[in-house]
Chain A
Amino acid sequence: MKPGTLSTALKSGAIWGFIILELIFFSVAGEFLSLSDKAFMDWDNMLLLLKQSAPIGIIAMGMTIVMVNGNIDLSVGATFAIAAIVLLDSMTWPIFAGLGDWVIPVAWLLALVVGTLLGALNGLIVWKTGVDAFIVTLGAMLGYRGIVFMFNGEQPTSHLNWTLVDFAEAELLGLATASWFLLAATLVIWFVMAKTVHGRNAYAIGDNREAAVNAGIRVGPHMMINFAIIGFLAALSAVVFYSESGSVNPNDGQLYELWVITAVVLGGTKITGGAGNVIGTFGGVIAIQLLRKGLGHIGADTSTVNLVIGLILVAVLVLDRQLNMKGKEELKV
């Protein structure tokens, strides 16, 4: 058992409490406001929730490790779009013409490699220049988006491959393909962060970088690996999603970084690094998707949705604060 599991579980408790609140609220409100005869907490609807959480959720797992590491990645949305373009475009490249449906795994691989490289490039810049990750990836958010537009101008890149669509829409044991990938990503990153030396070092670096350096941890390469991981996961998210939808707009993935970061922070990861876990992030992702879904369910209009989502984010923080309130005798700092 990793030390401190219980205390972190308690601290990330706010998000689970909030998820339950959401479920209750939307179920009750849905009875009055929804046109659907189906209950909000319908089993199929919950399975759908899991699937719909995948695009942001898979990236959020990578963001957890990067943020625990004390960094941040604002370029994931653009990486997501680039990976999607590579996936869809490469399937039409003449060199792969003889492959038949075998082009699919090749295209997947290519997209994943590109995503990993883009992530690693951010990591390399952070490592070698010492520029803060926020700035490096803020720049990359623009630069990578520029690359997206370079591919195909303003046109969407499309390649609808029905074999691929059928695979992506398939269900195994009642779970959609995307859900499986989300669960797998969660599990793997959980394993890495809770069980492996690499993961524990990520916490150490995020917590006290100088101490980590003094202890002889190779901080630079370590951070680069984590950026490569988030690049890979952004590409994986794209691969899973665009296998099903078959076309990418050059604007796709915009604002994903903000949603992903929101999910991660709601899940209890410290912005300054050193603390956080994947299970909490999973909760954060579900909470956000539930909110979107629920507001749709009860038919809120756009301005209400914006207003409510914003206020809810703040409310969760307040709830979290109440749960973690220090005793009256504790230091007031």
Chain B
Amino acid sequence: ETMKIGITQNNVGVDSYQTTYESAFIAAAGENSDVDAVVLDAGGDVARQIAQIEDLIQQEVDAIIIWPTNGEAVIPAVRKAHQAGIPVVVTNSNIAEAGFDFVKSFSGPDNITQGARSAEIMCDKFKDMGIEGEAQVVHITGQPGYTTAIERAKGFEDRMPEVCPDVSIVDTQPGDWNREKSQQVMEAFLVKYDDIDGVYSGDDNMGVGALNAAKAAGREGIIFVGATNFAVGYEAMAAGDYWGSIYQSPVDDAEAALKTATDILEGKELPFLNYFDTPKITQDNMGDYTKPVF
């Protein structure tokens, strides 16, 4: 008896994290002979995602995994799945509390903690350099409106004053998860501020964009910290240009989601929140980690 598992992802084409997630999920499902998977992509559109959940219910799958485009809007659709007796697993970013009753489990990274950890990485580095008393930081966020972007920004901005109260975050602008856009934003920052000590960006793609801008302008000594350690970020760290990031593997993410779903179908007891660990990675400890594949 195979398990039919349907997944609807947020927006696969948008970055290599999500694409790698998709292929990792397909690969993991392929390896497990007990699993048949339908892999759908909502293209960032809530309406399409809800339609996909309805389709999965209609196709009578055994479990649904959802990477919500909007943590609240999908609740009624999730309720429908729940009412149809189909267990729902949420992956990567969680849905709102009002929907917890209709969901079996969440599996994914803790984005708020990630933001906080990035703040700590940066603060520690400032302390090493002895500039924690006056450092100025600019912040490049992900695409406006995305849960991941919002949570990481919140984690960072809440944590920084706790660990380094005298560091000031002088400006925040979105880089849309896009290296080029981020490079443009950074170029403007560099013109606007004569003194920038640190740059926090919502992921390494944007971080590297900002780094390129700084290099082109010949500005040295800026501490770059990102999140979701992409291969580019890892390489820039190896080259000594980029200070640190958060190590998060989409493969782990995808496998954890599938595992959670199969465990539920096999009747295992699971905690409601299954965060997988996303450790800090800096130039100091990067040897402990393999280079990301994406």
Residue B58 contacts which of A45, A252, A289, A306 (CB distance < 8 angstroms)?
A45
The answer to whether B144 touches A160, judged by C-beta atoms less than 8 angstroms apart, is no
A251 within 8 A of B: yes
Interface 1/0 per residue, B223-260 and A, CB below 8 Å: 00000000000000000000000000000000000000
Decide yes or no whether B292 CB sits under 8 A from chain A: no
* B195 sits at the interface (CB 8 A): no
Question: Which residues of A in the span 274-314 have a Cβ within 8 Å of any Cβ on B?
Answer: 289, 292-293, 296-297, 299, 301-303, 305-306
Given contacts A245-B73, A249-B46, A249-B73, contact A44 B22 (CB under 8 A): no
Q: Which A residue sits closest to B47, measured CB to CB?
A: A55
Tell me the nearest residue of chain B to A159, going by C-beta: B72
Would you call A248 and B55 a contact (CB within 8 A)? no
- Cα A279 to Cα B12 in complex, Å, equals 34
**In the complex the two chains form, is A245's CB within 8 Å of B76's CB?**
yes
Instruction: Note all chain A residues with C-beta closer than 8 A to B74.
Output: 245
Report B-chain residues with C-beta under 8 Å of the C-beta of A56: 47
- The CA of A24 and the CA of B146, in the complex, are separated in Å by 38
Per the bound structure, the CA–CA distance linking A42 and B54 in Å amounts to 14
Question: How many A residues touch B, CB cutoff 8 Å?
Answer: 45
Bound-state Cα–Cα, A295 to B141, Å: 33
Q: Are B40 and A296 in contact (CB under 8 A)?
A: yes
Please state if A48 and B13 are interface contacts (CB–CB under 8 Å): no
Q: How many pairs of A and B residues are in contact by the CB < 8 Å rule? A: 126
**Residues 223-248 of A contacting B (Cβ, < 8 Å):** 241-242, 244-248
B38 near A299 with CB under 8 A, answer yes
Residues of A within 8 A of B75 (CB): 160, 245-247
Question: Cβ of A48 and Cβ of B58 under 8 Å apart?
Answer: yes
Contact of A244 among B38, B69, B76, B98 (CB under 8 A): B76
Chain A hits for B73, CB < 8 A? 156, 158, 242, 245-249
Q: Is the CB of B44 within 8 A of A251?
A: yes
Q: Does chain A have a CB within 8 A of B187?
A: no
Residue B26 lies at the interface, judged by CB distance under 8 Å to chain A: yes
Return the CB mask of B142-178 against A: 1 if under 8 Å, else 0.
Answer: 0111100110010000000000000000000000000
User: Counting CB contacts under 8 A, is B77 at the interface?
Assistant: yes
A255 at interface (Cβ–Cβ under 8 A)?
A: yes
Q: How far, in angstroms, from A313 to B222 measured CA to CA in the complex? A: 48
A254, closest chain B residue (CB): B44
B274 within 8 A of A: no
| Complex alpha-carbon distance, A242 and B76, angstroms | 10
CB atoms of A249 and B41 under 8 A apart: no
- In the complex, whether B107 has a CB less than 8 A from a CB of chain A is no
Q: How far is the CB of B45 from chain A (nearest CB, A)?
A: 7
Contact with A along B36-79 (1 / 0, CB 8 A): 10111101111110111011001111000000011111111100
Residues of chain A with a CB closer than 8 A to B273's CB: none
Scan B274-287; emit 1 where CB is below 8 A from any A CB, else 0: 00000000000000
Across the interface, do B52 and A296 meet the contact criterion of CB distance under 8 Å?
A: yes
CB of B184 closer than 8 Å to a CB of A: no
Among A38, A51, A154, A241, contact of B59 (Cβ-Cβ < 8 Å): A38
Residues of A within 8 A of B181 (CB): none
From residue A36, how far is it (CB to closest CB) to chain B in Å?
4
Are the C-beta atoms of A52 and B54 separated by less than 8 Å? Answer: yes
| A37-B60, A154-B149, A306-B13 known; A249+B69 contact, CB < 8 A | yes
Contact yes or no, B55 A301, CB < 8 A: no
- What distance in Å separates the Cβ of A109 from its nearest Cβ neighbour in chain B? 22
**Given the complex, which residues of B lie within 8 Å of A215, measured CB to CB?**
none
Closest-CB distance, B63 to chain A (whole angstroms):
12
Q: Give me 13 A-to-B residue pairs in the complex whose CB atoms sit less than 8 angstroms apart, sorted by A's number.
A: A45-B55, A156-B72, A158-B72, A160-B76, A245-B77, A249-B46, A250-B145, A251-B146, A252-B46, A296-B52, A296-B55, A301-B41, A302-B22
**B residues lining the A interface (CB < 8 Å):** 4, 12-13, 19, 22, 26, 36, 38-41, 43-48, 50-52, 54-55, 58-61, 69-77, 80, 96, 98, 141, 143-146, 149-150, 153
Q: List 10 extra interface pairs beyond A156-B73, A246-B72, A248-B70, CB under 8 A.
A: A38-B58, A154-B141, A154-B144, A156-B145, A244-B50, A246-B76, A293-B51, A296-B40, A301-B39, A302-B22
